[in-house]
Chain A
Amino acid sequence: NAGVTQTPKFQVLKTGQSMTLQCAQDMNHEYMSWYRQDPGMGLRLIHYSVGAGITDQGEVPNGYNVSRSTTEDFPLRLLSAAPSQTSVYFCASSGTGGASYGYTFGSGTRLTVV
């Protein structure tokens, strides 16, 4: 049972490049979210999904796209990377009932945009 798997763990991008951060879970969780964590700012919600085919925006969605074609996968796409997107990105999932039973988090992707 792997839980929530994020790839890659580290990435360096040049300004303007695009990339996809991968997130997969094997717990059959309906609810999945992407957060970014910056020093002193806690976790900020980017996008979330309550099931396959359903996504919604969080607090800081600009510059990011998501899709949810399967229950297991929830990739995060950076369309044109900017230095302001340098951050640690966490994917999280939760079972039926939303996050009332607590999220399971991945180990994070540390992204640097130069």
Chain B
Amino acid sequence: EDQVTQSPEALRLQEGESSSLNCSYTVSGLRGLFWYRQDPGKGPEFLFTLYSAGEEKEKERLKATLTKKESFLHITAPKPEDSATYLCAVQAGYSSASKIIFGSGTRLSIRP
């Protein structure tokens, strides 16, 4: 059965303190791995798609990386506005019609 596990559940950092969030997955053939940001009371907002091991994507203070078993979302010198829940999702199989499943997310809090 396809599974996505995110850790830690919650992370509190001081402004400027860099860290990483983890997303480990077990799927029968990875078509794509996705990262989303979700603010309280809102729908998730798309950040990145990664397709193959070794791939990296960057956006401002965020950098996503992918291996054959996990993905990391690195946050460099975070600011309070980076506080949100970060969700990881995977699309398994070899068809664009296959379903996408999400992990339970990491709640990130950045203190000024």
Contacts and interface: CB of A to CB of B under 8 A. Distances in A.
Pairing of A with B: yes
A100 B96 contact: yes
Interface stretch (A13-21, A40-48, A75-83): A40-48
A35 interface: yes
B102 to A, nearest CB: 4
A97 B96 contact: yes
Interface residues of B, number: 29
Contacts of A63: none
B32 A45 contact: no
B102 A100 contact: no
A42 B103 contact: yes
B99 interface: yes
Contacts of B76: none
Nearest to A44: B102
A103 to B, nearest CB: 6
Contacts of B95: 98
A100 B49 contact: yes
A33 interface: yes
Contacts of A4: 43
B31 interface: yes
Contacts of A96: 96
A108 B43 contact: yes
B13 interface: no
A56 interface: yes
Given A100-B32, A103-B100, 17 more contacts: A31-B97, A40-B104, A42-B6, A42-B103, A43-B102, A44-B101, A45-B101, A59-B99, A59-B101, A98-B32, A98-B100, A99-B100, A100-B49, A103-B34, A106-B43, A108-B41, A108-B43
